[in-house]
Amino acid sequence: MDRRSFVKNTCLTGAGLLAGTQLLNAMPIGMLAPTQLMGGRFVTLCIMIRTTPWEVSRDVKLHPRDEGKWHTLEGVKRLREAFGTNNPNGRLTWGFTLNALEDKRTNFAQIREYAAYCHAKYGDEVTVFPGYFPAMYLPPARINKELSEALQIISGFVGKRYKPQSVIGGFLPAESLKYLADKENIHVAQAVIWSQHNIDGGGADGSLSYPYYPSTEHFCKPGQGKKDLIDCVNLDGWSMDFICARQSGQTGHEITGYNSRRGVGPIETYKGWGLDLGHREVMHTQSIHFDKGVELNGFGWVPNIWEAQMVYEFGMDFICDAMKMWVTDTLKRWPDTQWVSFGEFGNIWRNHYKSNDDYNYKFVERGCGLGDSYNNLEIRWFMNKAFRLALLRDWHHDTPEMVIDFTRYDLPAHEPTGARPDHPVKDWSIINRINQKGLRPEDKPVQLKELTAQEQALIYKYCPELKA
């Protein structure tokens, strides 16, 4: 099928035509992007290029460590080649901080050139990554200005009027997501880190873990109607082990203590537990989405972000072996897995779901028995436009399910204001009725029947199977 026929047959009019064209423009001639969401298993991977940890602007660097020498052409090539092992059609996203885009050192110039080469050869996405937490330190107007400046730089070195389909943002405020949609014609952003709370300097718990159109009120909240909805699909950055994610932050030894960020992330798994145990946790987390998750939701998706500096900090052979192990074993267990960029996946989802009205995500996990992923616990999550709900039980002892999270999206939400480099705003969470972290007296777990009649009616409207 030629490119023109592909667009005609898959994305006929309006927003679908635009999204289909964007998908095609990201692909080298002869390589077609997947277009069908339902029935698919998708992995989105971003490799982050930076000059220091947690940099959110040219002059706002939250950690003094200079990682310039930690980023080399050899390192990123080895990492990309490891990703491509047994995965010749796989595509990923390269995320550059503004400093990494503007750094004149030879190694950064080489890495930018290599990313452009990978776009031309493999269809990789090249985009901006304004640190993990720009919303905590910068006002939205400054974030927006620097996003546009970074996109112009990327268009310049990739060439052919290239523009990515997404940006990687960690946390991005609603105003910036609306700016991307309205001013930059970008309709996908990794702009939430699910369950992040009291770790890495801040947090924003309260969102869905799967894609949604954000509200103008708050980037963690799904839009409730046309006037409230921002046409920029909000994506998570890492799939989490839901049982581990109940915690706030982390404590104790990296192996024996708990870590709320345990899941597919390489620092918390391969680096923390080693290749054997770390890989078991990665595969366990993916199985939540690629086994029962496909049955419940019609598709499965696993996002992940790897920092390029890990090749130096933790050892090139170790990190590249971890990448090969992850990719190879994922394809062995789920051969139909499609490795696509964040922008591709976001637009595939956007083509299928035109609003927040039609999805109703459901997940089930029993802990794998490693660390704080306790194997006697079973958690069920329900996530939709109106709320997210988590039920936890001890399945070994057949205890009743308890509500450990009930976050309502039909209630007003407000983002913090006044963030400045010298006055950061660290907590962007939506925490209302009951929150999984259990930090307030009102977060004490209860049974469904102990909720108010109105709350139960809301839950049963979306999840009638829970009605006794």
pLDDT at res. 63: 74
Mean pLDDT of 352-363: 97
pLDDT at res. 13: 37
In which residue ranges of the chain is CATH 3.30.1120.110 found?
361-466
Does position 350 have pLDDT exceeding 60, yes or no?
yes
Does position 464 have pLDDT exceeding 50, yes or no?
yes
Could you report the per-residue pLDDT of 232-257, keeping only the tens digit for each? 999 999 999 999 999 887 776 565 56
Mean pLDDT of 285-296: 98
Domain 17-352 has CATH 3.10.129.10: no
b/e sequence 397-409, b meaning 16+ C-beta within 10 Å:
eeeebbbbbbbbb
Q: How confident is residue 380, by pLDDT bands cut at 50, 70 and 90?
A: very high
Residue 377: φ, ψ to 5°: -100, 140
pLDDT at res. 254: 60
Could you report the per-residue pLDDT of 23-32, keeping only the tens digit for each? 444 444 335 5
Could you report the per-residue pLDDT of 139-175, keeping only the tens digit for each? 999 999 999 999 999 999 999 999 999 999 999 999 9
pLDDT at res. 40: 97
Query: Among 3.30.1120.110, 2.40.160.40, 3.30.420.40, 3.10.105.10, what is the CATH number of 361-466?
Result: 3.30.1120.110
Mean pLDDT of 107-131: 97
Does position 409 have pLDDT exceeding 50, yes or no?
yes
In which residue ranges of the chain is CATH 3.20.20.510 found?
17-352
Lowest mean pLDDT among 5-9, 113-117, 289-293, 464-468: 5-9
Q: To the nearest whole number, what is the mean pLDDT of the chain?
A: 91
Mean pLDDT of 361-382: 96
Mean pLDDT of 119-142: 94
pLDDT at res. 8: 34
Could you report the per-residue pLDDT of 174-211, keeping only the tens digit for each? 999 999 999 999 999 999 999 887 777 778 999 999 99
pLDDT at res. 1: 31
Mean pLDDT of 52-59: 87
